[in-house]
Amino acid sequence: MEKIKLMAHLVAGFPTDELSFIAARALVAGGADILEIQLPFSDPSADGPAIQSACTEVLSRNYKSAQGLAFISKIKSEFPDTQIYLMSYGSLIYTPGVENFCQKASKAGVSGMIIPDLPFDNDEGLTAACKKNGMINIPVAAPSMSRSRLEKMANAGFPYIYAALRTGITGTDTKIDDATLSFLSSVKAGGSKIYGGFGISSGEQSASLSKSVEAVVAGSVFVRLIDKNRDSKEKLFDAVKSKAKEITHS
């Protein structure tokens, strides 16, 4: 059985710092190759109810970006071979200064930035700041983009592009059909490698995607499992590890 590469999404600090770290350990134990760590932000409109409520809960503790970067640093220290991408929205990195933020992210062990609301061709200097600090900027492509804009992104020279497999919010079921595969072909037409996600929650979905992407992205499914098993560290670890294993070994 060929292993499927997985980028697993975690909300930093959810539901607690300790449980969030246990979840990270479980994801790595289950076969996740990349951890996409989300710094919580208010009104994450594309993220769906599971991630929205997770962000809201963490922010209610007055959680700061510095805590999220410390969390990433701790994970990188324990799992130096696991790639870590930082996901957030533009205001969190723009306010302290893009260059300043990228320096801190790189120092914490981040190797890539995913900032969905910064357009790939008007990114406030993010791509340049990433390159300067040994990271990559990973823009997000969506099926709602015009053909010309999608072609422009595909041929802009990004090593990786995150392809959101459908419009709307993540966390609801995504059907992998001919239209999905056609969209992925368009995104990688310029030579970029593709991370494909948005509503991936089963091994069956990841298997149908695996030949078309560099890695499958799954997030809400793990956030829901973390929330459901927050009363038991052992159950949380086992549930998250088991799901990661399902998605990577279908």
Task: Name the amino acid, one letter, at 124.
Answer: E
Name the active-site residue from 2, 17, 43, 47.
47
In sequence order, which residues have a C-beta less than 8 Å from that of residue 175 and are 6 or more positions away?
none
Residues of 216-225 as b/e, b for ≥16 C-beta within 10 angstroms? bbbbbbbbbb
**Alpha-carbon distances, residue 104 vs 26, 87, 173 (angstroms):** 26, 14, 36
Could you confirm whether 124 is annotated as catalytic?
no
- Which one, of 38, 35, 69, 72, lies nearest residue 55 by Cα? 38
Could you confirm whether 121 is annotated as catalytic?
no
Name the active-site residue from 36, 123, 214, 246.
36
**How many Å apart are CA 46 and CA 194, to the nearest integer?**
19
In sequence order, which residues have a C-beta less than 8 Å from that of residue 65 and are 6 or more positions away?
39, 88, 92, 96, 101
- Residue 28 corresponds to which tokens in the numbers above? 């790595």
| Residue positions annotated with a catalytic role | 36, 47
